[in-house]
């Protein structure tokens, strides 16, 4: 098990050292079976799960470990960046927990979580909400978006760069974007908008190989929104076909952030899935 450094006060984050020596932070709340949360979005930290009361609701039933991906929140970073490092970070947090965990990842956090299942034996249940996986005729097609984001960043327009990312890559509706803008962490996300291009480039280079997951018998719940872009929905279908022990749930009338727009339904599905093994 990884070496966890626990702070002197409950208001600070705990940390674990990832494979490359980077310190990865997470916050522990609640009690019950362990649930690790990996937020999606290039600039999202662990407080994303506090919106709409999601994390407090989970903490009534689970011991919640909400992590900050590298370069976000209280986690460290490294000079060189690869998607593999993000995957190792998730595995490090999972391995720092004594009991087998339920791992829940959203968006790019779901991609990190999927890959982490091949790097740790401490995952009891897996929940993925729309990992950005390009299959079939789909391409992530972020080259033009990355160019636009980098141009805005060069001009000092960090907020517009973040908005462009959320609209063009996240596929967020105006209502969903307004929900994110109203969050107290919006300014923090704007401040680290400069890390968006590296993450987009890494995800665009990722190639999903279904054969790598054919022996993964971990029970998996795959979540999707009926109004999400086809790339996300087709990606979930591909993962569902690849995993031997998975099932899907679709949030009708919602898209990529149903935890904010259909919170009760989202919580019900996740908690019911966790209870199946307890």
Look at residue 9 and tell me whether its pLDDT is greater than 60. no
Share of the chain above pLDDT 90, in %: 76
Give the CATH H-level superfamily of domain 4-138+208-275: Alpha/Beta hydrolase fold, catalytic domain (3.40.50.1820)
CB 30 within 8 A of CB 63: yes
At 3, the pLDDT band (50, 70, 90 cuts) reads low
What is the tens place of the pLDDT at every residue in 228-270? 989 899 999 999 999 999 999 999 999 988 998 999 999 999 9
Region 128-137 average pLDDT = 91
pLDDT, position 10: 42
pTM: 0.91
At 1, the pLDDT band (50, 70, 90 cuts) reads very low
Look at residue 2 and tell me whether its pLDDT is greater than 70. no
- Cα separation, 71 vs 89, in Å, equals 11
Domain regions of the chain by residue span: 4-138+208-275
Look at residue 78 and tell me whether its pLDDT is greater than 50. yes
pLDDT, position 263: 97
State the average pLDDT for the chain: 92
What is the tens place of the pLDDT at every residue in 180-194? 888 888 898 999 999
HEC profile for the chain?
CCCEECCCCCCCCEEEECCCCCEEEEEEEECCCEEEEECCCCCCCHHHHHHHHHHHHHHCCCEEEEECCCCCCCCCCCCCCCHHHHHHHHHHHHHCCCCCEEEEEECHHHHHHHHHCCCCCCEEEEEEECCCCCCCCCCCCCHHHHHHHHHHHHCCCHHHHHHHHHHHCCCCCHHHHHHHHCCCCHHHHHHCHHHHHHHHHHHHHCCCCHHHHCCCCCCEEEEEECCCCHHHHHHHHHHHHHCCCEEEEEECCCCCCHHHHCHHHHHHHHHHHHHCCC
Strands 23-30 and 14-17: antiparallel
CB 79 within 8 A of CB 105: no
Share of the chain above pLDDT 70, in %: 95
What is the tens place of the pLDDT at every residue in 151-181? 999 999 999 999 999 888 777 788 878 888 8
């Amino acid at each position: 098990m990884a070496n966890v450094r626990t702070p002197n006060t409950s208001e600070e984050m705990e940390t674990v050292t990832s494979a490359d020596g980077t310190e990865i932070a997470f916050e522990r709340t609640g009690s019950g079976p362990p649930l690790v949360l990996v937020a999606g979005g290039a600039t999202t930290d662990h407080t994303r799960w506090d919106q709409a009361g999601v994390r407090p609701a989970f903490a009534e039933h689970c011991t919640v470990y909400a992590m900050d991906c590298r370069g976000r929140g209280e986690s460290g970073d490294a000079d060189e960046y690869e998607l593999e490092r993000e995957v190792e970070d998730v595995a490090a947090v999972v391995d720092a927990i004594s009991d087998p965990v339920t791992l829940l990842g959203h968006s790019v956090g779901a991609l990190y979580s999927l890959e982490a299942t091949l790097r740790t034996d401490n995952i009891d249940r897996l929940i993925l909400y729309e990992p950005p996986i390009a299959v079939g005729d789909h391409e992530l097609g972020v080259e033009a978006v990355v160019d636009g984001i980098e141009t805005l960043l060069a001009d000092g327009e960090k907020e517009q760069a973040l908005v462009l990312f959320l609209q063009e890559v996240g596929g967020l509706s105006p209502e969903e974007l307004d929900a994110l803008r109203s969050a107290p962490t919006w300014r923090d996300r704007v401040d680290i908008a400069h890390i968006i291009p590296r993450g987009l480039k890494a995800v665009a280079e990722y190639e999903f190989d279904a054969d790598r997951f054919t022996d993964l018998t971990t029970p998996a719940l795959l979540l999707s929104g009926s109004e999400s872009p086809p790339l996300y929905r087709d990606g979930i279908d591909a993962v569902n076909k690849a995993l031997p022990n998975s099932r899907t749930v679709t949030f009708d009338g919602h898209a990529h952030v149903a935890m904010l727009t259909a919170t009760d339904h989202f919580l019900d599905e996740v908690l019911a899935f966790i209870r199946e093994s307890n």
